[in-house]
């Protein structure tokens, strides 16, 4: 099944597409939140949301590229 490109055009999907899932996972691990690449991909695809503590770490490690709205905004906006 092909990924829906529009899901990757918003918020965390765009960030992951540019930064890379492996790098995002490594950044989070370095911040004390070990996650898998698969978890990062599931967030980017909009299948799951990161836990709030991981969401805060994502925002902090993104150096301003992500906001709370990017992570937890309306999930149906890309449908």
pLDDT of the chain, 79 residues: tens digit per residue: 555 556 666 789 999 999 999 999 999 999 999 999 999 999 998 889 999 999 999 999 999 999 999 898 865 554 4
Query: What range does the domain containing 33 cover?
Result: 5-72
Query: Is residue 32 assigned to a domain?
Result: yes
Q: What is the pLDDT of residue 39?
A: 97
Nearest CA among 32, 15, 23, 8 for reference residue 66: 15
* Cα(39)–Cα(47) distance, integer angstroms: 10
The structure's pTM equals 0.81
Q: What is the pLDDT of residue 11?
A: 86
Nearest CA among 43, 47, 41 for reference residue 20: 41
* Domain count across the chain: 1
Query: Is residue 79 assigned to a domain?
Result: no
Query: Is residue 23 assigned to a domain?
Result: yes
Q: What share of the chain is helix, strand, coil (3-state, %, to 5)?
A: 60, 0, 40
Query: Is residue 78 assigned to a domain?
Result: no
């Amino acid at each position: 099944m092909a990924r829906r490109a529009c899901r990757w055009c918003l918020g965390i999907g765009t960030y992951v597409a540019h930064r890379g899932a492996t790098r995002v996972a490594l950044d989070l691990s370095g911040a004390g939140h070990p996650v898998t690449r698969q978890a990062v991909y599931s967030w980017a695809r909009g299948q799951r949301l990161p836990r709030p503590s991981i969401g805060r770490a994502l925002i902090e490690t993104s150096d301003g590229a992500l906001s709370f709205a990017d992570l937890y905004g309306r999930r149906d906006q890309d449908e």
